[in-house]
């Protein structure tokens, strides 16, 4: 078993998951706890690669599972379905997260810092403040990048005033011009050319379940929805493979235009009509345009979840 306490975010890591893991390790060290280590559960996306390259930092070590009794710290997730293999038998010391709490339980007491902010790093930023710890350039860039990523440059409806305040202060320490740095970072993440369709539909996919309906909402950011739709046929093949492999009832691929803040959804699965009801749309050629929708957490997931709940009552 790994001696150190392992810090990690969710599978299919995004920029908040990676940056917040690294920042949590830095925060713990500054707080006198040197036995923690950031790790990751999957490959870095191109946006996160951009951030680490900017800082000249190495990616955290990749782990596949944890042994029974392994001490762990979770950031940016809590649902076991999105966590590491073996999480049920691990000893969870703390959670820092900004998602709903679901499919999560522990045998022992723990620290749990949940805030409905736009980003885990905003919660960590406040922890630095509360503990009176100095924020240096490296962690400022990491936290600022995470906030820019999760809030799509403060344009997502998940954005809170705490995120705005944190980003403003972090940008000064990081010496970045938020819009310029942020656009470059976000655009780095939209370079999807050399991903296979299978990789694309898994890049940022979250597995969810409600009332025995199993579904995945995957999201890709782009500067041109049309460019992604050119690959519809192979994307659908990859989505159907996931549906069979995981026994899914619905697979939603959300193609989000980060410039115009809209989303085109591509939906497959025997229960696709739930998604049509959830957004009052008709799928045409398996697709529908959702104006002003950019957030999985606050727009896509709650509507689908609620609709499944209503279906069960009907």
The stretch near Mn ion (CB under 5 A) out of 6-14, 26-34, 83-91, 216-224 is: 6-14
Among 7, 14, 23, 78, binds Mn ion (CB under 5 A): 14
User: Judged by CB, which is closer to Mn ion: 263, or 307?
Assistant: 263
User: Judged by CB, which is closer to Mn ion: 150, or 163?
Assistant: 150
Other beta carbons within 10 Å of 247: 8
| Burial readout 85-111 (b: 16 or more C-beta within 10 A, e: otherwise) | ebbeebebbbbbbbbeeeebeeeeeee
DSSP 8-state code for residue 85 = B
Assess 264 for contact with Mn ion (CB under 5 A).
Answer: no
Angle among Cα 232, 285, 274 to the nearest 5 degrees reads 105
Assess 150 for contact with Mn ion (CB under 5 A).
Answer: yes
Angle formed by the axes of helices 120-131 and 137-151, nearest 10° = 150
Rounded to the nearest whole angstrom, what is the least distance from the CB of residue 21 to Mn ion in the complex? Answer: 11
Mark residue 81 as left, alpha or beta (left: phi above 0; alpha: psi -120 to 50; beta: remaining): alpha
Contact positions with Mn ion (CB under 5 A) in 118-147: 120
Number of residues that bind Mn ion (CB under 5 A): 6
User: Judged by CB, which is closer to Mn ion: 14, or 305?
Assistant: 14
Rounded to the nearest whole angstrom, what is the least distance from the CB of residue 143 to Mn ion in the complex? Answer: 12
The stretch near Mn ion (CB under 5 A) out of 25-33, 112-120, 151-159, 294-302 is: 112-120
Task: Decide: 219 and 192 in contact? Cβ < 8 Å.
Answer: no
C-alpha span between 265 and 288 (Å, rounded) = 5
Query: Residue of minimal CB distance from Mn ion?
Result: 16
Among 28, 47, 76, 236, binds Mn ion (CB under 5 A): 76
User: Judged by CB, which is closer to Mn ion: 14, or 28?
Assistant: 14
Closest by CA to 292, choosing from 262, 253, 254, 265, is 262
Q: In terms of DSSP H, where are the helices of 132-284?
A: 137-151, 161-174, 178-188, 197-203, 225-229, 232-246, 272-279
User: Judged by CB, which is closer to Mn ion: 16, or 28?
Assistant: 16
Assess 28 for contact with Mn ion (CB under 5 A).
Answer: no
C-alpha span between 291 and 270 (Å, rounded) = 25
Rounded to the nearest whole angstrom, what is the least distance from the CB of residue 139 to Mn ion in the complex? Answer: 16
Assess 305 for contact with Mn ion (CB under 5 A).
Answer: no
Rounded to the nearest whole angstrom, what is the least distance from the CB of residue 237 to Mn ion in the complex? Answer: 27
Assess 163 for contact with Mn ion (CB under 5 A).
Answer: no
Backbone CA torsion sign across 139, 156, 41, 219: negative
Assess 17 for contact with Mn ion (CB under 5 A).
Answer: yes
Among 5, 7, 12, 16, binds Mn ion (CB under 5 A): 16
Q: Using CB under 5 A, list all residues that contact Mn ion.
A: 14, 16-17, 76, 120, 150
């Amino acid at each position: 078993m790994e001696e150190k306490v392992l810090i990690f975010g969710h599978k299919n890591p995004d920029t908040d998951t990676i940056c917040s893991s690294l920042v949590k390790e830095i925060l713990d060290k500054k707080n006198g706890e040197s036995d923690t280590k950031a790790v990751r559960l999957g490959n870095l996306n191109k946006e996160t690669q951009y951030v680490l390259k900017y800082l000249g930092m190495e990616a955290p070590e990749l782990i596949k599972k944890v042994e029974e009794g392994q001490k762990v710290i979770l950031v940016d997730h809590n649902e076991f379905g999105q966590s590491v293999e073996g999480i049920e038998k691990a000893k969870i010391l703390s959670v820092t997260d900004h998602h709903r709490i679901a499919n999560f339980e522990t045998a022992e007491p723990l620290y749990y810092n949940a805030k409905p902010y736009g980003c885990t790093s905003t919660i960590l930023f406040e922890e630095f403040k509360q503990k009176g710890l100095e924020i240096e350039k490296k962690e400022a860039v990491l936290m600022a990048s995470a906030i820019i990523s999760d809030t799509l440059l403060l344009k997502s409806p998940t954005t809170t005033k705490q995120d705005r305040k944190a980003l403003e202060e972090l940008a000064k320490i990081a010496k970045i011009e938020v819009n310029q740095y942020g656009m470059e970072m976000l655009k780095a993440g939209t370079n999807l050319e050399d991903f296979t369709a299978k990789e694309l539909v898994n890049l940022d996919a979250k597995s969810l379940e409600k009332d025995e309906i199993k579904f995945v909402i995957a999201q890709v950011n782009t500067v041109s929805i049309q460019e992604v739709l050119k690959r519809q046929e192979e994307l659908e093949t990859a989505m159907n493979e996931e549906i069979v492999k995981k026994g899914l009832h619905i697979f939603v691929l959300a193609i989000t235009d980060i410039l115009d803040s809209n989303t085109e959804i591509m939906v497959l699965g025997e229960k696709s009509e739930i998604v049509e009801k959830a957004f009052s749309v008709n799928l045409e050629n398996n697709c529908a345009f959702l104006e002003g929708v950019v957030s999985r957490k606050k727009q896509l997931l709650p509507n689908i979840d609620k609709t499944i709940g209503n279906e069960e009552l009907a």
